[in-house]
Structure 1
Amino acid sequence: MELFFLLLLVVIMAGALGSGFPVAFALPGASIATILIAAGAGYLFEGSTDAFFAQGGPKQWLSAGVTNLRGVYWEPERDTLIAIPLFIFMGIMLQRSKIAEDLLITMANLFGPIPGGLGISVVFVGALLAATTGIVGATVVAMGLISLPAMMRNGYSNSLATGTIAASGTLGQIIPPSIVLIILADQLASAADQAGTIRKNLFKENTGELSMPSSYEVVSTSAGEMFLGALLPGLVLVGLYMAYILIIAFIRPKMAPPVRYNGVYDRDFAVKVFLTLIPPLLLIFLVLGSIIGGIATVNQAGAIGAAGALVMAGYRLTEGRKGTYYPAILAIVSLVIIGFVMANFNTNIKNIRTSSDMLGVGLAIIASLSLIVALVWSAIRAFKIEDTLQSVMRETAKATSLVFIILLGAAILTAAFRAFGGEHLVKEFLEGMPGGFWTKFVIVMAVIFFLGFFLDFIEIAVVVVPIVAPILLADPAANVTAVWLGVMIGLNIQTSFLTPPFGFALFYLRGVAPAAVKTIQMYKGVIPFIALQLLALAIVGNTPQLVNYLPNRVALLSDNAPPPRNPKLGYCVDQYLIAELDVVGPALISSADAASKINLSLLPKDLAKSTSKSFANVAQAVEQLKLAQAATADVEAAAGPYRPIHKAVRALERDAKTIDREIKAIKKEIKDLETGDSYIDELNHEIEELEADKAALLAQIPSDWDAVYKAFQEVNKKEKQAYSKFKKLSTDAYEPSIETLDVLLSGDEFRALQDQLMASKALVSNNAPADAVDPLNDLKRAFSDLGGAGDIASAINKARRAVKSKTPSKEKAQDQLDKAIALYNEQLAWRADAEAQVGPELSTYEQSLRSTLGIRQQTKFTEEQALYVANCVSDHRDVSLNF
C-alpha cells in the first residue's frame, strides 16, 4: 500500500502543477494531502493511522516535514542562500539600467562584419550577462528585443537566430554567479553528509572495521566551490555555441551572413567599446576574482556585485549629463585607497601604536565613507530616474520569495516521499541496475533531462537532487565529488529552459519575438543547442578535471590550505614523490652521503646520534618507495580477476540485505495484527518464500569467495604497509635534521634569555613565593619555545611548582634554578661553535630534502606541489575494492 500512496503523491503533485496551481503550494499541498489520506485509510481499514507508512506514522512525517521547513527557513542564517537576493539584485539592476542593451549593440557592431559574427556577439554577450546577472528571463528578453530584429533584418535564419538567443540566455544557469549553483550547493552539502554516513556503514558491513579511512570519505561542496567548478564547463559550452555558429556560417552562409557596420572603426568607437565592455568585465573580475582568490565568501562577493551594479546603473542612467561619472570615479578612488591602506598599514584600531598606524586608520575611514557616499549617490540617481531602484527592489523581492517558497514546499515534499518508502524504492531500483555507478548515473541524468520538459530548474534541484544525490555520491566505485555531480546536474538542468513544451526561455522569447517568427521555427532552432548542451555534458563527464581542478587549486594555494600530511591527500602526495624521486633520488642519496661527513661531535651525544642516523634513512626511503610501487603493481595485477568476483558477490549480498529489510517489515506488520488473524498465515508464507530467495542468492556466492577475498586483502595490506614504511623512513630521514637546525637557529634567542635566567634566583629569594610564580612561568614558556631547551624549561617549571605549592619552598626552587643555569651553561658552551660549523652544512642538506622526503613536515604545499596534487585529486579514483 505504501507504493500506492507514493504513486498518489506523484499524481496529486503532477495534477496540481499541470493545472497551473502555483508550485510553491502544489509541493507541500500534495504532501500533506497524501499523508492525511494515508492516515485516514489506515485508520478505517486497518485500525491504525500508521498502517500505510513505510515506518513511523503521519505525526512523525508531518513533524519531519515541519522540521525540514524550519531548517530551510533558517538556512539564510547559516550563510548559504543569502547570496541569492544579492545576485538577483545585481542582475536585474544591470538589465533595467540598459547596460545589457549597450553590450549587445556594441558587440554586434564589433563582430558583425565576420560571417556569423552577429550570432557570435549574441553568445559573447550572453556569457557576459550570465557572469553578471544569472537571470535567464531578463537576459533572453533583453537579447530578444535588441538582437532578434537586427538578426532578422540582416538575413539570419529565424531558427538559428531564435536558437542562438534562447540558448545564450540560459548560460546564466551554469556560468557563475548562478542561482541554480547556489541551490545545488545547498542541496548537495546535505546530500554529501547522508552519502558519507551510507559509505561508512557500507565499509563497516563489508570489512568489519569500525572506522573508515578519511581518504575514502565523500567530498562535499560549497557555493564557492560550485562557482569555481562550473567556470570551465561554462566556457566549454560557450565555445561549442560559437563553433557551431561559425560552422553554420561557413557551410550555409545564407543562414548567418556578415553584417556591415555603417559607422567607422575609429578612436571614438574604440572608446565606446572600452566604456561598454570594461565595467562589466571589471565587475565579473571583482565578483569571481574575490571568490577565486579567497578574498571574499560567496555572500560577500554577492554584496560586491550588487554594489558594483548600483554604481554602474548610477552613471548609465544619467548618461550624457554633467557629472555622469562622478559617483563611479569616487567609488574607484575609494577602492584604490582602501587597497593601498590594506597593503601598507595595520588598520586594527585596537592595535594602534604609532602615528603611521593612526594615518592608516584615518585613510581607511575616509575611503570607506567616500565609498558609502558613492553608493548612496548612485542609489539616489537610480531612485529618481524612471523609478529604477524601486522596481529593481520589487522584482528582487519577488524572485527571492519565489525561490525560498519553493524550497520550503520541497522540504515538506521530501519528508512525504520518504514517508512512503520512496527513498528506499529509488535506492533499491538504482542499486539493482547492472553496470554499476555509470548505469545509475545515466538513468538519473535521463530522468532529470526528461523532467526538464515539464518542470522548472528550481523544482528539479530541490525535489530530485536530495533523493538521488546521496545514492550517487555514496558509491565508492566512481567516488565522484559533490561539486562534479552538481555541475553535471546543472548542465543537465540547463536544458530544461530549451526543451518544449515548457521551455521557459522559449516562452520568454515568444513573448517578445515578432509574429513573423513561427513557434515551430523556435523549436527547430533550439534543437542543435540542446544537442550541444548534451555534448558538453559528455565532455565534462569524461573529463572531471574541468570541474574539480579549479576548486582544488584554489583550496591548496589558499592561506587555509590543508597541510601535506592530510590523510585525504596521501595518495596524491605519494604520486608526486614517485615522480620526483624518480628524477632526484640519486641526488638525494649523494646529498645524504655528503651530510654524513659533517662533524657532529660539537653537538650533544643524543642530538648527534639521531642526526647521524637520519642520513642512512635517505637511501632506505628511496628504495622503499620503489618497493611500494612494486606492491601497487601487484595490487593492480590482482585487481583484474578480483574485481568482477567482488562486484558480483557484493551485488548478491546487497540483494540479500534488501530481502532482510522486507522480512523485517513483514514481521513488524505481523506484530501489529491481532492474534488469530488469517492474514498472518499469508504473511508467514511470504516470509518463507523470501527466506528461500535469500538462501538462493547466497548460494550463488562462490565457495572460494572467503579465500579469494582474504588473498586480495593480503596483497592490499602489503601495499599499505609498504607506503606506511616509506612515510616512516621519510620522516626519520628528515625530521632529526630539522629538529637539530631548529636548535642551532635559535641561538640568538637562547642567549638573549641569559640575564633573565641568571636573575631568577634573586627574584625568588627577594620576593614572596606567590610573586615569583608568574615571572617563572613566563621564563619557562620562553625556553619551551626554543629548540633543544626543553630540559631547561622543565627545571624552571619545577622551580615554579616549588614556590606555588601549598607549602612553598624557596630552597627547592633555588636548587631547580641552579640546575637550569647549569644546563644553560652547558648548552651555551657548544651552541656557538655548532651554529658556525654544523649549521650551514646541515641547512644545505635540509633544503635538498625539504620538497621531497620532507614534504609531509611542511605546513603547506609549494606552488609546484599544490598544482600537481590539485590535478591528481581532480580525477575520480575507484576505491570500491576496499569495501
Structure 2
Amino acid sequence: MDISNGLMVVLMFITAVGLLLLGYPVAFTLAGTALGFAFLGDLLGIFDLSILTAFPQRIFTIMSSEVLVAVPLFVFMGVMLERSKVAEELLDNMGRAFGSFSGGLAYSVTVVGALLAASTGIVGATVVTMGLLSLPTMIRRNYNIPFACGTICASGTLGQIIPPSIVLVLLGDQLSIAFQNAQFKMGNFAPDTVSVNDLFAGALLPGLMLVGMYLVYQFFFSLTKPDEAPPVPRDELGIQNRREFLLMLLRTLFAPLILIVAVLGSILAGLASPTEAAAVGAVGAIMLAGYKIAPDKARWILAAGAAFFALFIITLFFDLRMQRDVIPLSDKIAIAVALALSVIVVIGIAIAIWRTIQAKDEDGTSVLASVGRSTVQISSMVFVILVGAGMFSLVFRGFEGDIYIEEFLQNLPGGTIAALTLVMGVMFIMGFFLDFLEIIFIVVPIVAPILLMMEVAPGETMSPVWLGVMMGINLQTSFLTPPFGFALFYLRGVAPPQVTTAHIYKGVIPFVIIQVLALIILWFWPDVATWLPSVLYEK
C-alpha cells in the first residue's frame, strides 16, 4: 500500500475523533471530515472522487432497511413507558417486596433494572429514573453510599445488553453487513444470514447471567456487611395484608411482563421480525399508558389486551388468510371471531391514544405529543449519524483504509487473540468519550469484516453472534468505568448533595470487575452466547 494512503487514513481517523472530543455534532463531523479528506486526496492524486457517487445509494439502502424501522418504534415504546411511570410503580412495589431482607432494596433495583431493560432499553433514562427514586431511599435507610450508587449505575446499563435493545438492533444490522462482506471475500457467495433475531437470542443468556452475578455480589455484600445494607422494618413497608399486596404486585408486574413476552417472545420464537415486534411493543406501551392514566375506567383497554392475546392464540391454530378459493368452515368461524376481536382491539387502542392526548406532561404538553417529539429527536439523531458514518466509511475505504487495517490486524503477534483484544481495547477506551452510536457506526463496519474472516480454531471462523455480544458487554463495561463512564455522569447529575463523585467511582468498581469476569466467561465459553440461537434457529 502507498504510504500516503496509510497516512491519510490515520490522519482522517484522528481528525474525526479530535473534532468529536471538541463537541462538534457527530453526524456533520463524520461527513465533513470525510469530504474534506476526499477533496484533499483528490488534490494529491491519491483519491478518486467518483467513489462518492456511491453515497446516494448508501443513503437509500439505509432508509429502505426494514430492520432499522425498529429503532424509532423501540424508542417510542421506551419513552412512552418512561412517561407512564412504570418504573416508579415497579421500584415502589419491588422495594416493598424485597425490603424486609438485608440488601433487599439493592435486589429490587437490580430486578427492576432488568425489567426496564427488557421493556425500554433506554440506558440514560433508566439510570436517571432509578437515581431519583431509589438512591435517596437507600441513603435514608443507611445503605452504604458507594454500594447504592454502584447498584443503580450497573442496573441502569443492563438496557444495552438485554434485548430488545437499540444497541443490539444497530449492532446486529452492522454485523449482518460485515458478515456478508467477510463471507464474500472468503469466496462464499451464498452465506448464512445473521439477523438481529440471532443477536437478541445470543444476548439473552449473557444478559441474564450479568443480572445473576450482580445479585450474587449484592447477597455477599449484605451478608458480610449487614449494617451497610439493612432490611427495612416490616411495619414501615406498608404491607397491611399480605394477600392484597401480592395481588397488587402481580398487577404491577403483569402489564410489563406481558409486553416483554409479546415483544421479545415473538422475536425469539421467530413469529415476528424485530420491526413487527417493535410495532406491537409501541402499541402495547400506548395501551399501558392509557391504563395507567385512568385504571378505574379501563374496561375497553383491558378488553383490547385480552382480545389481542386471543388473536395471537387463534393465529396459532387457524389459517386466517381470506384470499383463498376454498375456506373450511372452521377457518371461516375463526376469521369472523378474529374480525370481532380486531374491532375490540381498535376501540381499546383508540381510547388509549385519546387518553394520552388528553393527559398532560409536567410542562403542560400532551403526553402523546411529548413522547412523539422525543421519539423524533432521538430517531433523527440516530439516522443522521448513520448517514454521516456512511460517508466516513466510504471515504475510508476509498483510501484503502480497510486493507490497511486488515494487514495491521492480521500481522499482529498473537494472531486472532491479539487482534480481538486490541479492537476490544480500542472500543473500550472510545466508550469513555463517544456514545455507542459513534462507536458502532465508525468502528464496527471497519474492523468486524476483518475479525469475522480470522480463525479462532483450525478451519473455524469467528461467530458474528459471539462477537456482537462481546462488543455489547464491552461497551456496557466502558460506560460504567471511572472516570469517564456515561452512566456515572447520569447518576451524578441527579444524586443528592451528600453523594460525591468518589462515592460513585468506588461503588461501580466491583460491578466493573463483574463485567470483566463476564467477558472472560464468554471468551472461554462462547456457547453462553451461541447456544440459544443454535437451538432456536438451528444455526
| TM-score, shorter chain, exceeding 0.5 | yes
1:746-771 deviations in Å (ceiling 9; x for gaps): xxxxxxxxxxxxxxxxxxxxxxxxxx
Asked if the contact 1:65/1:413 (under 8 Å) is kept, the reply is no
- 1:476 and 2:463 are equivalent in the alignment: no
- Structure 2 distance, partners of 1:20, 1:474, is 35
- Structure 2 distance, partners of 1:317, 1:140, is 24
SS of the aligned residue for 2:414 comes to coil
Report the equivalent of 1:34. Answer: 37
Structure 1 residue 332: Cα displacement: 2.7
- Structure 1 distance, partners of 2:109, 2:193, is 35
Report the equivalent of 2:359. Answer: 385
CA RMSD of aligned residues (A): 1.9
Structure 1 residue 188: Cα displacement: 0.7
Asked if the contact 2:110/2:151 (under 8 Å) is kept, the reply is yes
The one-letter code matched in structure 2 to 1:276 is T
- Structure 2 distance, partners of 1:337, 1:125, is 28
Report the equivalent of 1:287. Answer: 263
Q: Which has the higher mean CA deviation after the structures are superposed, 226-235 or 529-538?
A: 529-538
Does the C-alpha gap of structure 1 residues 502 and 25 become closer, same or farther in structure 2, counting only changes over 3 Å? farther
Report the equivalent of 1:62. Answer: 52
The one-letter code matched in structure 2 to 1:549 is W
Structure 1 residue 246: Cα displacement: 1.3
Equivalent residue in structure 2 for 1:82, among 37, 46, 69: 69
Report the equivalent of 1:534. Answer: 516
Equivalent residue in structure 2 for 1:21, among 24, 29, 35: 24
- 1:71 and 2:61 are equivalent in the alignment: yes
The one-letter code matched in structure 2 to 1:290 is S
The one-letter code matched in structure 2 to 1:421 is E
TM-score scaled by structure 1? 0.57
- Structure 2 distance, partners of 1:71, 1:350, is 32
Report the equivalent of 1:253. Answer: 226
- Structure 2 distance, partners of 1:347, 1:334, is 16
Structure 1 residue 129: Cα displacement: 0.2
- Structure 1 distance, partners of 2:191, 2:528, is 19
- Aligned ranges for residues 198-217 of structure 1 at < 5 Å? 198-200=185-187
The one-letter code matched in structure 2 to 1:483 is V
1:138-197 deviations in Å (ceiling 9; x for gaps): 111110110010011111122111111111111000000000111111111111111112
Report the equivalent of 1:163. Answer: 150
- Structure 2 distance, partners of 1:340, 1:192, is 36
Report the equivalent of 2:472. Answer: 490
- Aligned ranges for residues 607-618 of structure 1 at < 5 Å? none
- Following TM superposition, the consecutive aligned residue runs of length 4 or more in structure 1 with deviations greater than 6 angstroms are none
- Structure 1 distance, partners of 2:144, 2:86, is 27
Report the equivalent of 1:102. Answer: 89
Asked if the contact 2:432/2:486 (under 8 Å) is kept, the reply is no
The one-letter code matched in structure 2 to 1:23 is V
Asked if the contact 1:455/1:502 (under 8 Å) is kept, the reply is no
- Aligned ranges for residues 331-350 of structure 1 at < 5 Å? 331-339=304-312, 341-343=314-316, 345-350=318-323
1:668-725 deviations in Å (ceiling 9; x for gaps): xxxxxxxxxxxxxxxxxxxxxxxxxxxxxxxxxxxxxxxxxxxxxxxxxxxxxxxxxx
Does the C-alpha gap of structure 1 residues 157 and 218 become closer, same or farther in structure 2, counting only changes over 3 Å? farther
Q: Which has the higher mean CA deviation after the structures are superposed, 168-177 or 107-116?
A: 107-116
The one-letter code matched in structure 2 to 1:495 is T
- 1:8 and 2:11 are equivalent in the alignment: yes
Asked if the contact 2:100/2:231 (under 8 Å) is kept, the reply is yes
Q: Which has the higher mean CA deviation after the structures are superposed, 62-71 or 270-279?
A: 62-71
Structure 1 residue 122: Cα displacement: 0.5
Report the equivalent of 1:221. Answer: 194
Report the equivalent of 1:413. Answer: 392
1:292-335 deviations in Å (ceiling 9; x for gaps): 2221111111111111111111111124xx42x31332113312
Structure 1 residue 220: Cα displacement: 4.3
Report the equivalent of 1:369. Answer: 343
SS of the aligned residue for 2:323 comes to helix
- Structure 2 distance, partners of 1:340, 1:439, is 50
Structure 1 residue 90: Cα displacement: 1.0
SS of the aligned residue for 2:452 comes to helix
- 1:233 and 2:223 are equivalent in the alignment: no
- Structure 2 distance, partners of 1:18, 1:354, is 65
- 1:359 and 2:333 are equivalent in the alignment: yes
- Structure 2 distance, partners of 1:284, 1:329, is 17
Structure 1 residue 64: Cα displacement: 3.9
Q: Which has the higher mean CA deviation after the structures are superposed, 383-392 or 217-226?
A: 217-226
- Structure 2 distance, partners of 1:114, 1:493, is 33
Structure 1 residue 346: Cα displacement: 4.1
SS of the aligned residue for 1:169 comes to helix
- 1:467 and 2:454 are equivalent in the alignment: no
1:405-449 deviations in Å (ceiling 9; x for gaps): 111111111122223332222111111112221121111111111
Asked if the contact 1:223/1:298 (under 8 Å) is kept, the reply is yes
Structure 1 residue 501: Cα displacement: 4.4
SS of the aligned residue for 1:302 comes to helix
- Structure 2 distance, partners of 1:358, 1:422, is 60
The one-letter code matched in structure 2 to 1:189 is S
Structure 1 residue 550: Cα displacement: 1.2
- Structure 2 distance, partners of 1:34, 1:553, is 47
- Structure 2 distance, partners of 1:426, 1:345, is 53
Please say which structure displays the higher CA radius of gyration.
1
SS of the aligned residue for 1:121 comes to helix
Report the equivalent of 2:363. Answer: none
The one-letter code matched in structure 1 to 2:410 is E
SS of the aligned residue for 2:378 comes to helix
Report the equivalent of 1:398. Answer: 377
Structure 1 residue 353: Cα displacement: 4.5
Does the C-alpha gap of structure 1 residues 415 and 328 become closer, same or farther in structure 2, counting only changes over 3 Å? same
Report the equivalent of 1:268. Answer: 244
- Structure 2 distance, partners of 1:406, 1:343, is 40
Structure 1 residue 467: Cα displacement: 1.0
- 1:309 and 2:285 are equivalent in the alignment: yes
- Structure 1 distance, partners of 2:81, 2:156, is 15
The one-letter code matched in structure 2 to 1:229 is G
- Structure 2 distance, partners of 1:25, 1:463, is 13
Asked if the contact 1:455/1:496 (under 8 Å) is kept, the reply is no
- Structure 2 distance, partners of 1:218, 1:541, is 25
Structure 1: gaps (5+ residues): 43-49, 201-211, 557-872, 874-883
- Aligned ranges for residues 283-682 of structure 1 at < 5 Å? 283-319=259-295, 322-323=296-297, 325-339=298-312, 341-343=314-316, 345-351=318-324, 353=327, 356-386=330-360, 387-478=366-457, 479-556=461-538
- Residue-pair matches, total: 524
- Structure 2 distance, partners of 1:357, 1:11, is 63
- Structure 2 distance, partners of 1:95, 1:3, is 47
- Structure 2 distance, partners of 1:163, 1:318, is 36
Does the C-alpha gap of structure 1 residues 336 and 383 become closer, same or farther in structure 2, counting only changes over 3 Å? same
Asked if the contact 1:219/1:482 (under 8 Å) is kept, the reply is no
Which structure exhibits the higher relative contact order, with contacts defined as CA atoms closer than 8 Å and separated by 6 or more residues? Answer: 2
The one-letter code matched in structure 2 to 1:87 is F
Structure 1 residue 269: Cα displacement: 0.9
Asked if the contact 2:42/2:49 (under 8 Å) is kept, the reply is no
Structure 1 residue 337: Cα displacement: 3.9
SS of the aligned residue for 2:432 comes to coil
Structure 1 residue 502: Cα displacement: 3.8
The one-letter code matched in structure 2 to 1:188 is L
- Structure 2 distance, partners of 1:411, 1:500, is 31
The one-letter code matched in structure 1 to 2:378 is A
Structure 1 residue 451: Cα displacement: 1.2
1:442-487 deviations in Å (ceiling 9; x for gaps): 1111111111111111111111111111111112344221111111
Does the C-alpha gap of structure 1 residues 86 and 4 become closer, same or farther in structure 2, counting only changes over 3 Å? same
Report the equivalent of 1:612. Answer: none
The one-letter code matched in structure 1 to 2:485 is G
Asked if the contact 2:452/2:463 (under 8 Å) is kept, the reply is yes
- Structure 1 distance, partners of 2:308, 2:56, is 45
Structure 1 residue 242: Cα displacement: 1.0
